[in-house]
Chains A and B, each alone.
Chain A
Amino acid sequence: MRARRISGIVRPRGWTTTALRGLLFAVLGLFCLYYLVPLIVMVSTSLKSLDEIREGTLLSLPQSVTVDAWVKAWDAACVGVRCDGLKPFMWNSIAMAVPAVLLSTALGAVNGYALTKWRFPGADWIFALMLFGAFIPFQVILLPMARTLGLLGLAGTVPGLILVHTVYGLAFTTLFFRNFFIGVSDGILQAARIDGAGFFRIFAGIVLPMSVPAIVVTVIWQFTQIWNDFLFGVAFTVGDSNPVTVALNNVVNTSTGVKEYNVDMAAAILAGLPTMLVYVVAGAWFVRGLSAGAVKG
């Protein structure tokens, strides 16, 4: 697929058009500012020393830039009683999010493939029920899930949290992949059947390589959801197994001593960095996948 050129389309000219265009850009600029100011405040505060924060205003830029707050947030801030910073909890989150994202994406892909390309009686019902799962509020499943984890002996552990996120994410990942595979021509599948390939051979050899865009979208979505989750983390893990979101909350809410706004800000940005990273890296892949014609035959 080549990018279509639309820059050559003839546009009307005249001062009203120009004025409207100016207005449009002014409004857009304001929106940008509105979204960017909090981030600017966070970054600039995280680079100030405590003294400077006390003396200056919220919007003033740091006079002498220091990364002390970042180092402390990473390595030494107190989370509850433990003072090792966010570092161990960051690893918890990675150890939880990566398997959960991979598992839920892989299962969603197989589900979507089976529901669209290997139709069986009742497939539509099963899909409707799975879709229903996407609309169940988190709170509703807390108690049954806690009981289940208890029975499985996974209560308060990272594997337990992986299981919760995988199960809860299935509804979304199945939906994404089903909608993608619906658009894949049945002819390709029929050709592969005649070529002698079976369910998994077709899935791995033909369907999966075609679904790079769907995989990327699903991974971005799942990673963002799972990494940013707080409720499941706080409900199903304890102390040392907390994900970083819960740890961040504990850093900010530690009641002893002075309030270290610079450390809080640095910690918050650190906790949010991985999702941004995934978005940038996977997003670039996504665009490249589209323009390389990975979807069209």
Chain B
Amino acid sequence: MASGITLSGVFKRFGATEVIKGIDLAIEPGEFVVLVGPSGCGKSTLLNLVAGLETLTSGDIRIGAQVVNDVPPRDRDIAMVFQSYALYPTKSVRQNITFGMQTRHVPRDRQEAALDEFSRLLQIDGLLDRKPGQLSGGQRQRVAMGRALVRQPEVFLFDEPLSNLDAKLRIEMRTEIKKLHQRLGKTVVYVTHDQIEAMTLASRIAVMDNGHIRQFAQPHEIYEDPVDLFVAGFMGSPPMNMLPGKLARDGTARAVAVEGNGAPPILFPLPGRLAARLDEPDGHEVVLGLRPEAIFAAGTELPGPDRFVFERTVGVVEPTGPDTMLVFAIGPVEAIARVRPGDAPDPGTAFSFEVDMTKAKLFDAASGLALGARTGGR
């Protein structure tokens, strides 16, 4: 049975700088929670607090039912994988993996059995007598995982374990970590600054910014219903297009007017369901959020409700293989549309874009908070 983790009112200060500014988080047993956020927002610090490698300034941390505020790392029933791998350079792979069991006086035969099982699982059983310096990045990563796995703890903590690997290996290891989690069913807290890693791995994602958790929800909810501009802009690649505008009317229907550069404003009609939830008056300053995949070549998708077509000159064409990105100016910003490679025009030509307004998000320009959101957010 895996243990859950509960953080309540957690603060952490280093001298005068407050790094963690009041975090409440309830992680269910067996969950895979990803802490994601820009570099320096306090993800590692939060993870170290859970590990016991940093001391709380205030608040409580529970692992299972036990308050662990004053419990040293060794007694927390956790294992951790570090970004730099942190392997012991003078020890062989075998010694790296068994060091923890030795300090805990695990009997020899149990050590051997665990070493055997997990080195085979991670396919490092042929490397046991090498030193870390003689391994490739991916192999070191596996050894670091092995060292954590043999502990057989209730909670695994990962601090950006894949960010030193090349792209291909990263995707492979991502899948393996997911498989391991499915197989072992232990609670995992996983830190990354890579939003794709977060989306693919998490059962729930906590988006962090500057010592706060902005949103804690399942991946699809984070993606489809971001609570604010920060979450909306952080998740998704290429990022969501953020078009500044004002609430307006198109006839009687509500719309967002996005100023062109001198050109007459474009009126994006809001879907009835979203409009019905809006309390803000016309003229209210908003940001219209459109993900690149919500903008495509006119007439290329099956017709649906709340479609809107407009024309713009294509600035830059960026093929990525499966899709082609079109960059075009709209109002004061550059927007990106994701079209099929066959639909891509030449740069500099006029092009008809179609927008699926059911996918549109609306944010308050002043506060950055989502407007007319379906759920309450955090």
Chain A residues in the interface with B (C-beta under 8 A): 185, 187-188, 190-197, 201, 205-206, 209-210, 293-297
Contacts and interface: CB of A to CB of B under 8 A. Distances in A.
Given A187-B86, A293-B133, A294-B89, A196 B80 contact: no
Interface centre among A190, A194, A293 (most CB of B within 10 A): A194
B104 interface: yes
A191 to B, nearest CB: 4
Given A194-B74, A196-B74, A210 B100 contact: no
B10 to A, nearest CB: 19
A190 B133 contact: no
A196 B148 CA distance: 12
Contacts of A210: 89-90
Contact of A190 (B86, B87, B89): B86
A190 B44 CA distance: 13
B89 A297 contact: yes
Interface string B76-105: 001110111111111100000001100110
B104 A196 contact: yes
Contacts of A201: 103
A206 B90 CA distance: 7
30 contacts: A187-B85, A187-B86, A188-B86, A188-B87, A190-B51, A190-B53, A190-B73, A190-B86, A191-B82, A191-B88, A191-B147, A192-B88, A195-B74, A195-B103, A195-B147, A196-B103, A196-B104, A197-B74, A197-B99, A205-B99, A206-B88, A206-B90, A206-B91, A209-B90, A209-B91, A293-B89, A293-B131, A294-B90, A295-B89, A296-B133
B100 A297 contact: no
Chain B: number of interface residues, binned into ranges: 20 to 34
B90 A187 contact: no
A293 B103 CA distance: 25
B132 interface: yes
A187 B74 contact: no
A196 to B, nearest CB: 4
A196 B91 CA distance: 16
Interface centre among B84, B88, B104, B132 (most CB of A within 10 A): B88
Contacts of A195: 74, 99-100, 103, 147
B82 A190 contact: yes
A265 to B, nearest CB: 45
A191 B90 contact: no
Contacts of A191: 80, 82, 86-88, 147
A23 B194 CA distance: 58
A187 B104 CA distance: 20
Interface in B201-256: none
Contacts of A196: 74, 100, 103-104
B89 A193 contact: no
A215 B251 CA distance: 83
A194 B103 contact: no
B131 A194 contact: no
A214 B72 CA distance: 31
Contacts of A294: 89-90
A297 B147 contact: no
A197 B95 CA distance: 14
A114 B79 CA distance: 25
Contact of B85 (A205, A206, A296, A297): A297
Nearest to A208: B90
Nearest to B99: A195
Contacts of A297: 84-89, 132-133
Contact of B89 (A192, A197, A205, A296): A296
A196 B83 CA distance: 20
Contacts of A296: 89, 133
Closest 9 CB pairs of A and B: A187-B86, A195-B100, A297-B89, A196-B74, A209-B90, A191-B86, A293-B133, A196-B103, A187-B82
Contacts of B73: 190, 193-194
Contacts of B80: 190-191, 194
Nearest to B144: A191
A185 B85 CA distance: 10
Contacts of B51: 190, 194
Contacts of B82: 187, 190-191
Contacts of B131: 293
B84 A185 contact: yes
Interface string B134-171: 00000000000001000000000000000000000000
B340 to A, nearest CB: 45
Interface in B96-117: 99-100, 103-104
B107 to A, nearest CB: 15
Contacts of B133: 293, 296-297
